[in-house]
Structure 1
Amino acid sequence: MSRSSRGYDESDVRIRPGKGTRPRTKTRPAHADADEAMVVSVDRGRWGCAIDADPDRIVVTMRARELGRTPIVVGDRVGVVGDTSGAKDTLARIVRVEDRTSVLRRTADDTDPYERIVVANADQLLIVTALADPPPRTGFVERALAAAYVGGLTPILALTKSDLADGADFRAAFAGLDLPIVAAGRDDDLAELHAVLAGKLTALVGHSGVGKSTLVNRLVPAADRATGVVSGVGKGRHTSTQSVALPVPGTADTWVVDTPGIRSFGLAHVSPDDVVNAFSDLREAIEECPRGCTHLGPPADPECALDTLAGASARRAMAVRSMLVALHDEPC
């Protein structure tokens, strides 16, 4: 009987095997033998990593496929496999990102929903502020303080260009905050600052033109960070374009992270309660506020305890309140 007369059955059908015959699995290799490292730089899909946080063992890495689009930033502690010799043209892989102990975040402004992670796992935040040229802004410092406390970093205020102004009034604005203030001008002795930084990972932030890169070059002479001048309108030219962790010579386990100069420190990711609780004197005051107080002041909150403060605390409360007003109607 011919095939055409008897018809077809399943034996006449050829099944073409698929391209992949191995079952898919979500099991990932443990990489128990991965070297521990700290991310010190990020540049176009490549990460510089210091093996065991050793500045003499820097390797170039890529992100392993199994990490997908996991964000990796300067300061992250990671697991690295592959060629970790650091030799020219070698490339290792980041296969694991450890949980972060602290995160410094900011947004472009108070309405921007996109959070930018400035640095991870930093112990301290050094807020670099010039006493003149450009003039100091208490608002910027208070915003940076709020971001530091919320992110788990200890803030420190570093004052540059002290030869142009004494800064007594500016210092007084932060009375009662238990905020260390150190002199960091071009002609100032940096011994006190070195003692504060010793054994820590410290991120530096500041407006463009305040002398942050100049300070970094004094702390790490081999860094050769670009410096700029302040424009005629009182705003500095951006000189640092990428965050980078740099080892401070002469002291073990001491790193500073130079971050790009910024013009604003948005707090869209921070809730109003986070902002108030960042300041010890304000946190104590609002314990006397009535239930449901938003701390925005009259007419919304006629009995807000912030209105009972005096001196530097009162000035700080009004600055914080202005932030709350900006954040009150925006998603956080």
Structure 2
Amino acid sequence: MSRYDEEARFDRPKRRTRPRTKDRPSYDDAVEGFVITRDRGRYTCWVEDRRVTAMKARQLGRKGVIVGDRVKLDGDASGEQGTLARIVEVLPRTTLLRRSADDDDPVERPLVANADQLVIVAAVAHPEPRTGLIDRFLVAAYEAGMRPLLCLTKTDLGDPEPLLSIYRPLGVESVATHHGGDLTELREQLHDRTSVLVGHSGVGKSTLVNALVPGADRAIGVVNEVTGRGRHTSTNTVVLQLPDGGWLIDTPGIRSFGLAHVEPETLIHAFPDLEELAADCPRGCTHAIDAIDCALDEAVAEHRADPARVASFRRLLASREGRAADYLAGS
């Protein structure tokens, strides 16, 4: 054997590749479900009448899968212990609730998909209501195309009317509750809807969930007597089935809600009466309280628009820009 033949024996074998094909798996046998919780890369999906554990298929790449997503599952979707299916497709979303960490943070964080109602839970006392945060939740609901519902808790500790009077001009529906009270009205509002519960820590969200869904066993926290703030108890977003029909999505307590992704023209779509009047605004008008030649001011002066409704809309605009204090000072 020559020296050259001997060296050839140690050559790295050539890499063999198969030609790419345009054919892709059809997943005709994939079943449809929706994601009810996520934990460390594993997704629990509701399929017909059972829970199925799944992982995201590689072909989805960077495409995110969030709670509420309607998905197609391939593989073992029996739901039996030890089985694992694959999420091979995320179906188009009807709504998407999202936020940013701060108002100047360009990164959007999707929270929940395909919900049709945002239930904003606020206590009338202990802790004191934070209207700025409520406003931000409303902006997020309108931007996502969701119906907002204001749920006031702890009404046995204070009068809900001052808070209700702030949001009445916006046409936001509301319900009032207290610990151990009748939840019939709230149940009617939740019936056959997919509702997301959001609220500041300590407002009684978990208490509501446990009363609405027997066996939910969501952790209940307490309010710090010194700071007046609640402690985070629920740490993950989870979907629960309501006994009388519908789904309830419980989220962890939130202390901040950035709205960097919301544009003024998006927000005004939620106010058809004001949007029609704003059509006469000059190009680029922000509709804010300090906007020059805004048609909303003219409409108010001519009694063609409800001043309280315009003021509420502008308060939401100011909240979106982190300028709620500026708005209150100038109003």
| TM-score class normalised by the smaller sequence | 0.7 to 0.9
Q: What is the match of residue 199 of structure 1? A: 192
- 2:228 aligns with 234
TM-score (normalised: structure 1) = 0.86
Give the aligned partner of residue 140 of structure 1.
133
**Structure 1 residue 282 displacement after superposition:** 4.3
Q: Which moved more, 1:149-158 or 1:24-33?
A: 24-33
Task: Name the structure 2 match of 1:330.
Answer: none
Aligned to 2:254: 262
Structure 1 position 125, deviation (Å): 0.8
Q: Distance in 2 between matches of 1:325 and 1:204?
A: 24
Query: Is contact 1:106–1:116 with CA below 8 Å preserved after alignment?
Result: yes
Q: Map 1:6-45 onto structure 2 (within 5 A).
A: 18-25=14-21, 27-45=23-41
The residue identity in structure 1 corresponding to 2:292 is D
Q: What's the % identity of the aligned pairs?
A: 50
Give the aligned partner of residue 288 of structure 2: 296
Whether the 8 Å contact between 2:68 and 2:113 is mirrored in structure 1 is yes
- How far the C-alpha of 1:77 sits from its partner, in A, is 0.4
Paired residues of 1:145 and 1:278 also in contact (CA < 8 A): no
8 Å CA contact 1:281–1:313 kept in 2: the answer is: no
For the pair 1:177 / 2:170, whether they are aligned, the reply is: yes
Q: Is the Cα contact below 8 Å between 2:37 and 2:45 reproduced in 1? A: yes
- 2:215 alignment partner, SS class: helix
C-alpha distance 108-284 of structure 1, shift in aligned 2 (>3 A): same
- For structure 2, list consecutive stretches of 5 or more residues without a partner in the other structure: 324-331
- Deviation of residue 321 (structure 1)? 4.0
TM-score, with length taken from structure 2: 0.86
Matched residue SS, 2:105: coil
**Pairs aligned (count):** 315
Task: List aligned pairs for 1:1-332, cutoff 5 A.
Answer: 18-25=14-21, 27-52=23-48, 54=49, 57-231=50-224, 232-249=226-243, 251-252=244-245, 254-280=246-272, 282-298=274-290, 300-301=291-292, 303=294, 305-306=296-297, 308=300, 312-313=308-309, 315-323=311-319, 325-326=321-322
Aligned equivalents of 1:167, 1:76: Cα separation in 2:
35
Q: Is the 8 A contact 2:282 2:293 kept in 1?
A: no
Residues 201 and 257 in structure 1, CA contact (< 8 A), matched pair in contact too? yes
Would the aligned equivalents of 1:172 and 1:312 in 2 still touch at CA under 8 Å?
Answer: no
2-side partners of 1:310 and 1:201: how far apart?
Answer: 32
In the alignment, the residues of structure 1 paired with residue 171 and residue 252 of structure 2 have an alpha-carbon distance, to the nearest angstrom, of 27
Letter in 2 for 1:261: G
Q: What secondary structure sits across from 2:80 in the alignment?
A: coil
| DSSP 3-state at the match of 2:119 | strand
Secondary structure (helix, strand or coil) at the match of 1:195 reads helix
- How far is the alpha carbon of 1:177 from its aligned partner? 2.5
Return the letter of the residue paired with 2:213: V
Structure 1 residue 313 displacement after superposition = 2.4
- Counterpart secondary structure, 2:179: coil
User: Post-superposition shift, 1:14?
Assistant: 11
CA RMSD of aligned residues (A): 2.6
CA distance in 2, matches of 1:28, 1:306: 58
